[in-house]
Amino acid sequence: MDLIAISDIYGDISIVKEFLSRLNESKKHNRIIVVAGDLGIKTRSQNYFENVNKILDLLSKKCKYLFYVPGDSDVEDLAVSYQNIINIDKNNFIIEMDDVRVGLLGFGGAPAHSVREKKFFSYLWDESIPIVRENLMMNLRINLEKVMTYRPDYIVLVTHAPPFGIADYSRPITLSEEVLLGELLEELEVETEKDETKKLARNPRHLGSRTLREFVRYYKPDVHIFAHVHKQGGKVLTKNGTMFCNVSHLSSLPYRLTGRKFLFLRLTKEEVTFFFDSVVIKNLSFQDFLEAYL
């Protein structure tokens, strides 16, 4: 089974088309695509739903199944009418392909402590509140138990936020980063609102979820796909039996050269193999490369 994971698109339809042009058309019926959130930016885009639906439509035509969770910049509940698109936020799904059975479960949004300007983010949860933390953990456990009844070969957890301490070390996502993302939306001819005057702290720290850390430590899913922390994008590490994959970010912003990433996973009965690739065109001349990406 081939699984391709992307995230943090921010409504950029052109980068999605570029990404899809790299995929082998003949293999689309044996492929699943996973989006780990931030399909658009709800608080800054007047055409948010139109852009997100267009992105989901494009992606869904290049795979057998498209799974996604909404990110912190998305609305929590997206109305999607396509048959092969599944929102696994607080949900689960079993897929069997190439004699491999995979159970997927997901959780969207991000912990409130991972951002500084909360009003610019649509889907946050505050895990410092006991009832919120308990509900998050209970939902994950229930969905895990459901997929376990099918005896899958692999369990894949998809969240937007990373677990605390795993590929999550950075400064909180700030208004200044939102301004950079606003530049992308201007290119898409969407009105944006900027406030570049407020000074924000930039001390790096762990931005991941402690609840997710507790869950993966105890239940040990085979693969955990997440995003959200851009500067840690492209990192894959295995710890306590779980392969952790930070797939930030397909968008060219906020970091033009280090973005445009996607993760390719191949799951067989025997093993999981992976590689990261990029939409960046590598064989450009030096001058063309500078103009295109810097």
Q: Which two tokens stand for residue 91?
A: 């949900």
Q: How far from chain centre, in Å, is Cα 49?
A: 18
Q: What is the DSSP string of the chain?
A: -EEEEE---TT-HHHHHHHHHTS-GGGGGGEEEEE-S-SS-TTT-TTHHHHHHHHHHHHHTTSSEEEE---TTS-S------TTEEE-BTEEEEEEETTEEEEEEEE-SEEGGGBS-GGG-S-EE-TTSHHHHHHHHHHHHHHHHHHHTT--SEEEEEESSPBTTSS-EEPPB-HHHHHHHHHHHHHTT---------------EE-SBHHHHHHHHHH--SEEEE---GGGTT-EEEETTEEEEE---SSS-SSTTT--EEEEEEE-SS-EEEEEEESS-TT--HHHHHHHH-
pLDDT tens string 136-146: 999 999 999 99
Q: Lowest mean pLDDT: which of 89-98, 149-158, 246-255? A: 246-255
**Cis peptide leading into 249, omega within 30 of 0?**
yes
Calculated CA dihedral for residues 227, 178, 294, 48, nearest 10 degrees: 80
d(CA 209, CA 247): 16
Domain 2-293 is in which class?
A: alpha beta
Q: Report angle CA 276, 78, 73 to the nearest 5 degrees.
A: 60
For residues 12-35, average pLDDT: 91
For residues 12-21, average pLDDT: 92
pLDDT of residue 221: 97
pLDDT tens string 119-128: 778 899 999 9
If we measure between CA atoms, which residue out of 203, 258, 211, 202 comes closest to residue 232?
Answer: 258
For residues 255-276, average pLDDT: 88
pLDDT tens string 81-115: 678 999 999 999 999 998 999 999 999 999 999 98
Residue the block writes with tokens 């109305």: 79
d(CA 173, CA 181): 11
- The domains of the chain are located at 2-293
pLDDT of residue 179: 45
For residues 140-155, average pLDDT: 97
Under the banding of pLDDT at 50, 70 and 90, the label for residue 159 is: very high
Report the predicted TM-score, pTM, of the whole model to 2 decimal places. 0.86
d(CA 286, CA 142): 52
For residues 208-235, average pLDDT: 95
Backbone torsions φ then ψ of 127, nearest 5 degrees? -80, 0
Q: What is the rounded average pLDDT for all residues in the chain?
A: 86
